[in-house]
A and B are shown apart, each in its own frame.
Chain A
Amino acid sequence: MGNRVSNWFKERINMEDLPFFRTPDYMYHVGDWLGALVAAAFFYTVISGLIILLYYDPAAGYQSTETIINKVPYGSVVLYSHLYGAYAMIILAFVHMFRNYFVGAYKKPREIVWILGVLMLALTLGASFLGYSLIGDVLAVSAVDVGAGILGSLGLSSLVPILFGNYSAGDYTRVLAMHIILVALIGLLFLIHFFLADLQYGMMPSRKVKDKAPAVYPKSEWQKFNPWWPRNFIYMMSLIFLTWGFILIIPNALVYFTFPQIANPFLNPKPAPPPNSPAAATVTTYPPWFFLFVYKIADFPGSVLVDMTIALFIPLIYLLVVPFIDRSPYLHPLKRRVFTWIGILMMIYLIQSSLWGDLAPGVPVSMSEILEVYLPPAIITGLGIFLIPWEKVSKGLSKGMSNPPTMLAFTFVTLAFASSMIYFLTTLSLASLATVISLGSIFVILAKLLTPYVMRAQQDENAVSVEEASKVLEKKKRIAQIIMIILFIVAIPIVVTMWTIPPTGYYSNLFGVDLGVLFLILGEEFSLYHYVVYKKPVEKEE
């Protein structure tokens, strides 16, 4: 009976023939699926946002935020996870972007996919800023003031009423509408981005298969891979639910802690006091964390126009045109060292400026401080990247890489990194921060270069046959199966407790934690199912 029903659907929906990219076995790793994580965060945020939209009243922003948190059943669970869904989306979008930057995914023929992605990142930051403004607390109001001030000094003050409407009079209708419009735009661009990336070009083959652009599988070749249904579906489900689990657990657990001021922009999901309350006077205002870097760069000497050019326009324009500057067909990061170097610096500067903005918000900086903070990472990473010999890397890190000088250098970097970390923790100054980040990145690069060699050395010793490998795999699958059963058993008492959690008040956020754990379990079940059913002993990169 069940079979007949499923066959009925099978015949009509015919999932095997969906035109999505067919995926080779070796691509079922999260590194190849970062876009799915961003999309998962996006959809979570949209769904939770629509629930909030049922209650939010733009005529009384702060009041209705408070009502949602305190009066609506599980309102705080939805609101806080909406915030952290957006956070997750921003972080994952950055990770997705930088990963694709370093593997050279912006190269031919994926230029448009890349440009759409960069535009979506900009829209995401914009939509997040507007969403943050909707809270209407003292932080949101001051963030909007700063934003309006920046627009004003760029000569764009006519944009302020277009974006924010009557915000200063307490009417958030326009901000709410703009927030939704930007999100809708993201959704639209996402469709094109996904269509091109998945259906048109397919996922990028491993560098071992294709180390030059255009890195695409010919359609005839990709027909051999796994169809979307059911394997990709199952893998995707595991990623979605794991992402949703973290989005729910983190904010709803953080609610029960209090943080020192420097951690507040990152870890405190609760709104600050309203701007017209006496308590507002004592609040240190700061922008949302994803704009801390802009906030710090605005403290640089020079006009606002110069600062914003540095903070926003140059990086944005660079990212938009990088497919047209970097025209070499090579994909390996060390075959395009300048771009790799710029990418690493962008990452470092982003983190550095954000942390600096958090530690010293609004404190003007001098030229010498700027050099002190931003020059060392440039020099250290530059030296590191340009001194790594390509020949040795390209030969799959032959023994030459692990000769005594290299090992000595690695030991030195490791020790220097460790001591700089201690130095940073004890002094907490900007110079120490700069040192620890740049030494850390060198350490990561070297470690990554050396580990494959070390790992392979181990593997070679006990070279395993396919037969042996499948035996080991079968053992692992048995363990996975047991874990699946245990997780199922764990899930049941969690659900039972969820039915007893009050919908409002202090304990209501535990519902969010529990639901998050449940999502994690479900995601893990999908992941284990995928492992047991589909994992092959040898998944060669074809």
Chain B
Amino acid sequence: MPLRFRLNGRDKQILESTDLAFLYKLVRVMKNPKTKFNEVDFVTKGEDYLFNYVNNNVGGVDEGRRNFLKGILIGVAVTTVAGIVPGLRVLIPPVQSVSGFPKTLILDSSGNPIKASTLPVNSPIIMVFPYPLQNEINFLLNLGDENGNPVEVPPTTVVVPQTGDKYQFPGGVGPNKSIVAYSAICQHLGCTPPYIHFYPPKYVNISQVTAPEPNKLTVQAVQAAKSAKVPAIIHCDCHGSTYDPYHGAAVLTGPTVRPLPTIVLEWDSSTDYLYAIGAVGVPTYPMSSNGVPSNDPSADLDESQFGASVGDKTEISETNPFSS
């Protein structure tokens, strides 16, 4: 209730009750020895001293109301923080949960689906496609005999020399069952094309021993191909590892102690398209070091090593190692 008095027949208000309370409080604070009002400072510094004094010690008019509003303000601030908290998930990098191998359509280098029946036989051109992750490259091969006719690649059992483990190679696909795909990362120390690549029959002879890198064959490789009666081989120029593409990329010569992993292909006879659907054998280098064949895709699908999944399409890139 405000303080009023009557003047010339009119009510004149002089003081709000809150103001009165404020004054009372101020006087009490000023008398308190702890927060003594310094008259000397007041005289020298003037009004400023008074304002600061009041602000610091009494907190202005209507402290209760101010505290109530402060409470609301802090409440809303806390609420806002509670709203931001789920947003902090933005800091958690998305983990691609790949539970299995994707079924991926293989495209040629211009982006059209590759046709199995037009795939050149024994091509000297290195055709690689990434699968199942973007940095895992694989050869796509259409195998033939010395005369360039496609040959059927039968299923077979492949041995891992490092451990003696065995696994089943599914054989070729396509109209002639001659198309196969193997990892293009050498199991010895991880060399990639053009150091490791496919040598068509006309290059698998002793004259290739003197060819320049990366097309050089070792004498052992040529002999091993001859004794195994395979017309063409996959050979790595880094250290001379040789693989037999007709038998699941089994080891022909060291120093490698593991065959190249096989990419399982599927041929759709109505459209003539080729799909990559999985992998067998040891995992992609360097995950394969224990030499244990694995059908557990997680070994091949470790993103930290090989990037994101290729998804449902993968594109071939071509280079010709023999051009120069």
Separation of A73 and B85 alpha carbons in the complex (Å): 13
**Are B87's CB and A55's CB within 8 A?**
no
Residues of B within 8 A of A322 (CB): none
Does chain B have a CB within 8 A of A71? yes
Choose from B65, B80, B89 the contact partner of A503 (Cβ within 8 Å).
Answer: B89
Does chain B have a CB within 8 A of A106? no
**Are A525's CB and B90's CB within 8 A?**
no
**Are B80's CB and A519's CB within 8 A?**
yes
**Are A481's CB and B93's CB within 8 A?**
no
Contacts A223-B48, A224-B48, A515-B83; is A54 near B76 (CB within 8 Å)? no
**Are B87's CB and A511's CB within 8 A?**
yes
Separation of A72 and B96 alpha carbons in the complex (Å): 11
Closest to B90 in A: A74
Q: Which of A178-227 contact B (CB under 8 A)?
A: 223-224
Residues of B within 8 A of A503 (CB): 86, 89-90
Contacts A54-B91, A224-B48; is A498 near B86 (CB within 8 Å)? yes
Choose from A484, A514, A532 the contact partner of B83 (Cβ within 8 Å).
Answer: A514
Choose from B13, B55, B56, B79 the contact partner of A495 (Cβ within 8 Å).
Answer: B79
Separation of A492 and B96 alpha carbons in the complex (Å): 34
Closest to A54 in B: B91
Contacts A224-B47, A515-B83; is A484 near B72 (CB within 8 Å)? yes
Choose from B48, B56, B65, B79 the contact partner of A492 (Cβ within 8 Å).
Answer: B79
Residues of B within 8 A of A223 (CB): 48
Separation of A499 and B69 alpha carbons in the complex (Å): 27
Choose from A55, A67, A224, A525 the contact partner of B72 (Cβ within 8 Å).
Answer: A525
Number of interface residues of A (CB under 8 A): 42
Separation of A467 and B66 alpha carbons in the complex (Å): 22
Does chain A have a CB within 8 A of B20? no
Separation of A533 and B267 alpha carbons in the complex (Å): 77
Choose from B79, B86, B87 the contact partner of A491 (Cβ within 8 Å).
Answer: B79
Choose from B56, B69, B77, B91 the contact partner of A481 (Cβ within 8 Å).
Answer: B69
Number of interface residues of B (CB under 8 A): 29
Separation of A78 and B86 alpha carbons in the complex (Å): 13
**Distance from B1 Cβ to chain A, minimum over Cβ atoms (Å):** 15
Does chain B have a CB within 8 A of A469? no
Residues of A within 8 A of B40 (CB): none
Beta-carbon contacts of B61-91 to A below 8 Å, as 1s and 0s? 0000110011011011101101110110111
**Are B90's CB and A73's CB within 8 A?**
yes
Separation of A542 and B94 alpha carbons in the complex (Å): 57
Does chain B have a CB within 8 A of A526? yes
Q: Which of A1-60 contact B (CB under 8 A)?
A: 10, 16, 51, 54-55
Beta-carbon contacts of A488-512 to B below 8 Å, as 1s and 0s? 1001101100110101100000010
Residues of A within 8 A of B92 (CB): 73
Separation of A440 and B80 alpha carbons in the complex (Å): 41
Choose from A54, A224, A492, A515 the contact partner of B87 (Cβ within 8 Å).
Answer: A515
Closest to A484 in B: B72
**Are B90's CB and A521's CB within 8 A?**
no
Q: Which of A446-495 contact B (CB under 8 A)?
A: 467, 481, 484-485, 487-488, 491-492, 494-495
**Are A518's CB and B80's CB within 8 A?**
yes
Residues of A within 8 A of B69 (CB): 481, 484, 529, 532-533
Separation of A312 and B318 alpha carbons in the complex (Å): 47
Separation of A522 and B81 alpha carbons in the complex (Å): 11
Does chain B have a CB within 8 A of A430? no
Contacts A488-B79, A499-B86; is A533 near B66 (CB within 8 Å)? yes
Residues of B within 8 A of A491 (CB): 76, 79-80, 83
**Distance from A69 Cβ to chain B, minimum over Cβ atoms (Å):** 11
Does chain B have a CB within 8 A of A75? yes
Does chain A have a CB within 8 A of B149? no
Does chain B have a CB within 8 A of A88? no
Does chain A have a CB within 8 A of B17? no
Does chain A have a CB within 8 A of B52? yes
Residues of B within 8 A of A533 (CB): 66, 69
Separation of A518 and B86 alpha carbons in the complex (Å): 14
Residues of B within 8 A of A242 (CB): none
Residues of A within 8 A of B82 (CB): 495
Does chain B have a CB within 8 A of A77? yes
Closest to A3 in B: B59
Candidate in B69, B75, B89 with the most chain A CB atoms within 10 angstroms: B69
**Are A72's CB and B90's CB within 8 A?**
yes
**Are A494's CB and B93's CB within 8 A?**
no
Residues of B within 8 A of A485 (CB): 72
**Distance from A5 Cβ to chain B, minimum over Cβ atoms (Å):** 14
Closest to B96 in A: A71
Separation of A122 and B312 alpha carbons in the complex (Å): 45
**Distance from A50 Cβ to chain B, minimum over Cβ atoms (Å):** 11
Separation of A138 and B80 alpha carbons in the complex (Å): 38
Separation of A515 and B91 alpha carbons in the complex (Å): 17
**Are A498's CB and B83's CB within 8 A?**
yes
Separation of A223 and B45 alpha carbons in the complex (Å): 11
Closest to B308 in A: A67
Residues of A within 8 A of B75 (CB): 488
Closest to B69 in A: A529
Choose from B66, B80, B87, B96 the contact partner of A77 (Cβ within 8 Å).
Answer: B87
Residues of B within 8 A of A511 (CB): 86-87
Closest to A467 in B: B13
Residues of B within 8 A of A74 (CB): 87, 89-90
Beta-carbon contacts of B149-167 to A below 8 Å, as 1s and 0s? 0000000000000000000
Choose from B76, B86, B94 the contact partner of A72 (Cβ within 8 Å).
Answer: B94
Separation of A74 and B90 alpha carbons in the complex (Å): 6
Residues of A within 8 A of B96 (CB): 71
Closest to A481 in B: B69
Q: Which of A103-140 contact B (CB under 8 A)?
A: none
Closest to A74 in B: B90
Residues of B within 8 A of A72 (CB): 90, 93-94
Separation of A525 and B79 alpha carbons in the complex (Å): 12
**Distance from A333 Cβ to chain B, minimum over Cβ atoms (Å):** 36
**Are A75's CB and B76's CB within 8 A?**
no
- Assuming A54-B93, A73-B89, A467-B13, what are 12 further A-B pairs, CB within 8 angstroms? A10-B56, A73-B92, A74-B87, A74-B89, A488-B79, A491-B83, A492-B79, A515-B84, A518-B79, A522-B77, A529-B69, A533-B66
Residues of chain B at the chain A interface (Cβ within 8 Å) = 13, 47-48, 52, 55-56, 65-66, 69-70, 72-73, 75-77, 79-80, 82-84, 86-87, 89-94, 96
Q: Can you list 21 pairs linking A and B with CB atoms under 8 Å apart?
A: A51-B90, A55-B93, A72-B90, A78-B90, A481-B65, A481-B69, A484-B69, A484-B72, A484-B73, A487-B76, A491-B79, A491-B80, A498-B83, A503-B86, A503-B89, A511-B86, A515-B87, A522-B76, A525-B73, A533-B66, A533-B69
Residues of chain A at the chain B interface (Cβ within 8 Å) = 10, 16, 51, 54-55, 67, 71-75, 77-78, 223-224, 467, 481, 484-485, 487-488, 491-492, 494-495, 498-499, 501, 503-504, 511, 514-515, 518-519, 521-522, 525-526, 529, 532-533
Which 6 A-B residue pairs are closest in the complex by CB-CB distance? Answer: A73-B89, A71-B94, A495-B83, A74-B90, A491-B79, A525-B76
